[in-house]
Chain A
Amino acid sequence: MENGGSSAGKGRVGVHLCTCRGEVARHLDLDRLAAELTVDPAVAYVKIDSELCAPSGQEELQKTHREGRADRVLVGACTPNIQGLIMRSALEGAGLNKYLYEQVNLRELCAWVHADREAATDKAVRLMRAAIARALMLEALEDIELKVVPEALVIGGGVAGMQAALEIASRGFTAHIAERTGALGGRAYKLSVTFPTHNCGICCMQYCRECVLTPKVEDVMQNPRIKVHLNSEIEAMEGGFGDRRVVLKTPSGREELRVGTIVVACGSDVFDAARIQEYGFGLHKDVVTTMDLERMLEQEREIGGRFVKPSDGKSTPRTVNFIQCVGSRDRVKGNLHCSLVCCTYAIGQAREIKKLSPTTEVYVHYIDLRGPYRGFEEFCEQAKSEGVLFVRGRVAEVREKKGRLHILFEDTDLGRTVDMPTDLVVLAVGQEPARGSDGIARMLHLQLDQDRFIKDLNPNFPSEYRRGVFVAGCAEGPKGIRYSIEDAKTAAAAASDLMAAGKIKKTRAIAVVDEARCRGCGKCEEACEYQAARVVEKNGRRVSVRDEARCEGCGVCAAQCCNRAISIKHNTRPQMEALMRQLLGRKGKARGEGA
């Protein structure tokens, strides 16, 4: 039974081969393949088509299936992940249960990688026979339907988080913002000038304290559908797709939320400049970061008289040196990635200094200037015309000599090393993943990318749905304000769509437990990363149960079970064994002949 040798009576497989407009046919002898498959008693028919994924091919699939000669379909064509989905849904339209569809990737896994036509055709026969064996063991299943709770959690109350919450609320759903600090607005709120308007980050008017009550923050605070939880951190998360219980640690104790979707907008942190000792941050008072300078500029504008050397608190700096890429593009002491926004904001600050004190000499030390934004070139040109000096080359060291700060740098354009006295050194610190964002990623089972930022499912398509969790803003990587807002809108739209639908379908290909075999040892509970396996007391014995909403169907638990009590639907042990048996069968022997 389990070897797939005698199940021919159970089902009839309809086989379609696709020449892929001659692409597969050029490398494989499809006629021989068809002839070898037709002799199998379990095969209802073998058809060769030239373009199964095209409308004509889809029609052909449907027409053939409606004839009712087969109860399951095997397609030998290309990759099941792309065109396969088209063909499967066409067949679903003709009444085929989608779990009774099987596909062999003859093109990528066979035709395109083997030059020897004979050997490739032999392999194709093997692959197809194995797939027939598996197809015969497939079970008709129904998707799991999960309800989506119409409330959203937005992690982080920066510009991205606020925007996401506003969008979600505008579509009629409740949004909870969990913000770790005591104020909304995030880092953008601390900026005195931003690109391209050259004004503050939020209201785009002149920067002023009134900004605290700017439209955006005010909108969020006053929106009845937005609940803001300040000074709150996420303590625990439970549940799965569509329905999660979130425990927030708030100043007034624990609070429990039930949400259907989550937007992760936890932002990024700035690089700690003290990690690069040679720049002397923390050692010399006149070495500051760009964030410190933002505060100075903001106070200068508000109170006046604050653009001074921090060491004496009164003299205006005569020479200012900006050091770019502090902690960015630096594999050894910092992060390898480019932080994208530093060139832009440092130049903005340099221009601001020129405005405040035209006689101050401002140098920007850069490796190369990167501003992937339209308008950046003009911005740069303007800075140059205003007298900001650009020096290409790495800065070696900032040190104190006879009570004066000196900067030692290389000017690669002039090909020489310069030791120059300076009054103020500004470190353009890059961004890195926010503290705790890896913990959030772990809780939500999101992957991190090579720079430890949270990874979107598909880098080209932001906010593709993944269990109702979306990522927006700098949590996904360094970003300008505009791009964070875009992200937030996309994420909010996707989240709202899910909540508006109220339910989602999920594949049934998940773990099931044979309770008679289960001894309740709990190994699966330990192995499951999604907390989908739990051992409970049932009819006087301990057995493991699965949470359908949480199970991802990875099968780690099944492989861990010594009693073989767990199997993965649509990926069962007998299916796998039948498949392998045929793959390894001797050449020229058809399925069923040997057993």
Chain B
Amino acid sequence: MAGNEPSIIAFTCAWCGYPSAVLAGVNRIEYPPGVNIVRVMCTGMIEPAYIMRALEYGADGVVVVGCLMENCHYMVGNKRAQERAEMLRPLLDMMGLGAGRLRTEWINASERVRFAAAMKDFSAALKEMGPNPLGRCDDDAGGGEAGQ
């Protein structure tokens, strides 16, 4: 799996993102195993630093999955997350990582097909982009300890 399968950190909110992933499971809808789901209460709690950390640790891509806009369980957390992602993307380009490594998906808790499709699509796009130039965190030359 580690070979050429892109590794993805999928931040999913507890109210829509995570349940949609669970439902994808219940309905046995396949998506690539490189997707690692991290459950957070709200996408609004994902600091830009978390996204940067994930990339620094070697994730090929980061996707933030939260409630539909206008329907955030915490009112506007997803809007904040969207704003942050929009700020980060040009920065990723500047750093040479590529803005395409960060995505946001706003989907309803019941939209399991959409969840799986989004993961498949992202994984395919990342495969096209090639691996994260920073490498995995426990590679000898990798980042990991940098930062803070």
Chain A interfacial positions (CB closer than 8 Å to B): 2-3, 79, 81, 105, 107-116, 118-120, 122-123, 126-127, 130, 442, 445, 447, 509, 527, 529, 552-556, 558-560, 568, 571, 573, 576-577, 579-581, 583-587, 589, 594-595
Contacts and interface: CB of A to CB of B under 8 A. Distances in A.
Contacts of B53: 577, 580
A110 B40 CA distance: 18
B28 A112 contact: yes
A584 B59 contact: yes
Nearest to A583: B36
Contacts of B136: 584-586
Contacts of A111: 25
Given A556-B42, A559-B45, A571-B41, A584 B58 contact: yes
Contact of A113 (B28, B137, B138): B28
B138 A586 contact: yes
Interface string B17-50: 0010111111011111100111011101111111
Interface stretch (B67-75, B92-100, B121-129): B67-75
20 contacts: A81-B22, A108-B22, A108-B23, A109-B37, A113-B30, A113-B31, A115-B30, A119-B33, A447-B73, A554-B73, A555-B41, A556-B42, A558-B45, A571-B40, A581-B57, A581-B137, A584-B7, A584-B59, A586-B2, A586-B139
Nearest to B27: A112
Question: Nearest 8 pairs between A and B by C-beta?
Answer: A555-B45, A108-B25, A556-B44, A594-B138, A554-B74, A554-B42, A529-B75, A112-B25
Contact of B33 (A120, A559, A560, A580): A120
B111 to A, nearest CB: 14
A554 B23 CA distance: 23
Given A112-B28, A559-B47, A589-B138, A584 B9 contact: yes
A580 B9 CA distance: 8
A3 B36 contact: no
Contacts of B141: none
A3 B40 contact: no
Given A447-B73, A585-B136, A586-B2, A123 B54 contact: no
A114 B57 contact: no
Nearest to B76: A529
A507 to B, nearest CB: 10
A589 to B, nearest CB: 6
Among A112, A527, A580, residue most surrounded by chain B Cβ atoms (within 10 Å): A580
B26 A580 contact: no
A127 B75 contact: no
B143 to A, nearest CB: 11
A527 B80 contact: yes
Contact of A556 (B45, B54, B57, B145): B45
Nearest to A579: B38
A476 B32 CA distance: 40
Given A571-B41, A586-B138, 14 more contacts: A107-B25, A108-B24, A114-B32, A447-B71, A554-B74, A554-B77, A556-B74, A558-B45, A559-B48, A580-B54, A580-B59, A583-B7, A584-B7, A594-B138
Give the contact-size bracket for chain B: 35 or more
B21 A584 contact: no
Contacts of A120: 33
B122 to A, nearest CB: 15
Given A116-B33, A560-B80, A580-B9, A568 B41 contact: yes
A298 to B, nearest CB: 41
Given A584-B136, A586-B136, A552 B74 contact: yes
Contacts of B44: 554-556, 559
A447 B70 CA distance: 9
Contacts of A552: 74
Contacts of B145: 3
B25 A585 contact: no
A254 to B, nearest CB: 27
Given A109-B22, A559-B84, A587 B45 contact: no
B50 to A, nearest CB: 6
Contacts of B46: 559
A585 B148 CA distance: 20
Contacts of B30: 113-115
Among B45, B47, B116, residue most surrounded by chain A Cβ atoms (within 10 Å): B45
Contacts of A584: 7, 9, 36, 54, 57-59, 136-137
Contacts of A556: 42, 44-45, 74, 76-77, 80
B131 to A, nearest CB: 12
Contacts of B49: 573
B25 A555 contact: no
Given A119-B1, A581-B57, A584-B137, A113 B24 contact: yes
A529 B74 contact: yes
Nearest to B59: A584
Nearest to B138: A594
B33 A123 contact: yes
Contacts of A123: 1, 33, 36
A445 B138 CA distance: 44
Contacts of A445: 74-75
A573 B86 CA distance: 22
A79 B109 CA distance: 14
B9 A583 contact: yes
A450 to B, nearest CB: 9
A353 to B, nearest CB: 43
Nearest to A555: B45
A568 to B, nearest CB: 6
Contacts of A110: 33
Nearest to B31: A113
A16 B133 CA distance: 37
Given A447-B71, A529-B74, A105 B22 contact: yes
Among B23, B31, B57, residue most surrounded by chain A Cβ atoms (within 10 Å): B57
A571 B33 contact: no
A127 B45 contact: no
A156 B74 CA distance: 25
